[in-house]
Amino acid sequence: MRTLKSIGKILLFSTLAQVPATAVWFTQSIPEKIRLVLVTVLSAVFFLGIVENFRKTLGLTYQDLGVRPPAVGTAKRDTFYALAVGAVGLIWFAIYVRVMKFALPALYIKLATTKSTGYISSLIDWGRTQSLTGFIALSLGMLIIVAGEELFYRGLIFNYIRREETETKALLWSSGVFALVHLNPANMPATFVMGLLFAWLYKKSNSLIIPIIAHFTYNLGIAIFGPLLHS
């Protein structure tokens, strides 16, 4: 019960911390590209603040969170695993989309034809303009988002649950929270599986850099090849 309360408190404060970034995003008087940059920076700053606060509260060091390079002897192998997980994730997503098309066609059509005006969608649209500036903005934005998420979900939440409960519970609960917080019920199973894979990479390498590489590869692939994966 104490573990659940701690996780709930972490999620509550992380949600509240996004209020300033959300307010900036919905300030239409600011040009969209400037808003994209501001939201990325604000989100990163507040995520780091939340991690720092709860890291101290839970008695975890940054070494405990995995903020270190992978071991020299296994770095090449772990990096290969990370890239492989990113690629497998894209294949898994393409299969998942096709299953949804077949099993839930009405829901798929609704999701596919609904135009989102959110921060991530706008960042992806900018990246798909085939301009160098757009690609750099998309890549940097995705990298910052991914690094923050891995520090938060794998570094903080996974480690805390593993310390208080069991490693199996840590894998399942941290991946479940990761899927739930993305607030997309249709993609929740796909996100949960990717959360498990990222947590497995983190456990195997004992470094956040490896799941960051996998997560970045997966997210950037979805952003760039999304229309192809849906075709």
The greatest distance separating any two alpha carbons of the chain, rounded to the nearest whole angstrom, comes to: 52
User: What pLDDT does residue 11 have?
Assistant: 77
- DSSP structure class, residue 73: G
User: What pLDDT does residue 10 have?
Assistant: 77
Neighbours of 170 (CB within 10 A): 22
Give the residue from 12, 76, 49, 87 showing the smallest Cα distance to 209.
Answer: 76
Note the pLDDT tens digit of each residue in 187-203.
888 899 999 999 999 99
Note the pLDDT tens digit of each residue in 41-68.
888 888 888 888 888 888 888 998 999 9
pLDDT, mean over the chain: 87
User: What pLDDT does residue 115 have?
Assistant: 61
Q: Lowest-confidence range among 117-121, 135-139, 154-158?
A: 117-121
Residue 1 has pLDDT above 60, yes or no: no
- Cα torsion 134, 218, 209, 161: sign: positive
User: What pLDDT does residue 48 have?
Assistant: 84
Give residue 113's pLDDT band: very low, low, confident or very high (50, 70, 90).
Answer: low
Residue 87 has pLDDT above 90, yes or no: yes
Residue 128 amino acid letter: R
End-to-end distance of the chain based on CA atoms, in angstroms? 45
pTM score, whole prediction:
0.90
> How far apart (Å, rounded) are the C-alpha atoms in residues 41 and 73?
34
